[in-house]
Amino acid sequence: MSFSEDTRNELARVVPTARCCRLAELSAFYDLDGMLMGTDNQYLDFTTSSLQVARKILTLLRSLYPGIATQVLVMRSRSRRTQICTVRVLKSAEAQKVYQDLKELDYAEGQPYLRKKCCRRAYIRGAFLGHGSITNPERTYHLEISTDHSHAAAKVLAALHSFHLDAGIVQRKGSLVVYLKDGDQIVTLLNLMGAHQALLHFENVRVLKDVRNQVNRLVNCETANVDKTVKAAMSQIEAIRLIEEHDGLDQLHPKLREVALLRQQYPYASLKELGDMCNPPMSKSGVNYRIRQLKARAAEIARLYS
């Protein structure tokens, strides 16, 4: 089972205690996939491709309207790869009552989002259950909610923005897709929706990825430093070889000769290590100064014999 399916299954088990929040979540299901049916609006349908979501819709309806007459219809697509589940409110009066309650939700003045924070959280949860998905955090960070209805997309986007989440919206194959790509904001949204198990898994994966990335950066940095040290040492040894061939190391000042011989004997030692081996010990800057003198003399020889 995918991480996205695990998250939806967890959210399908979350039932708000407050009536306003249950109506808000039911409203999201209606906005994304609901419809008044029949010539006289005698049916109210909620459509989904998930049996777990259909069960959630049924639970919300029965908790809000005890004794409500409902029916669940399950149909297979022609390819039989997907299913369509319809939760139907059967009686016209009850269908009209549910529809009216959904339309009379308490929205903020002049805004497409609900006034209460708890209701906005429920609405987002319903929207995600209806048409949401989240990628496995081991691959990338991406959460989205898609819909064919512009008014529903506007509500979802406004609800996310009301929680200071930097959600965007794009059009894809005729549908509007509201999305989040930031890992921290996805964690915040999972918490808002009540997907705490998914949140823990997401965070664990993020920590492991951060550790791996940090280790890789350190290894790459160390490798680059080693490469730099090796290249520098090879350049120094080549300079010393050139001096040895044309002048002879015996002609060098004793301190220069000491550093040259140590570099030949210990080609991969650091400047500090070379300084520690000198007699008496020499500082790193002192060794570096004498190395520069050796390289300058090698450059003079190269010019003379080029």
Q: Are residues 251 and 173 in the same domain?
A: no
Mean pLDDT, to the nearest integer, of 238-267? 85
Q: What is the pLDDT of residues 183-206, one digit of tens each?
A: 999 999 999 999 999 999 988 888
Output the CA torsion sign for 175, 4, 24, 67. positive
Q: Is the pTM of this model over 0.85?
A: no
Length of the chain: 306
42/88 same-domain check: yes
What mean pLDDT is reported for the chain?
A: 88
144 lies in a domain? yes
Lowest mean pLDDT across 35-39, 56-60, 128-132, 157-161: 35-39
Domain, as residue range, for 135: 3-194
CATH number, position 50: 3.10.28.10
Model confidence pLDDT, tens digit, residues 258-286: 888 888 888 888 888 888 988 888 898 88
Mean pLDDT of 36-41: 76
**DSSP state letters, 177-207:** EEEE--HHHHHHHHHHHT-HHHHHHHHHHHH
Q: In a 3-state reduction of DSSP, which class is residue 303? A: helix
Together in a domain, 45 and 136: yes
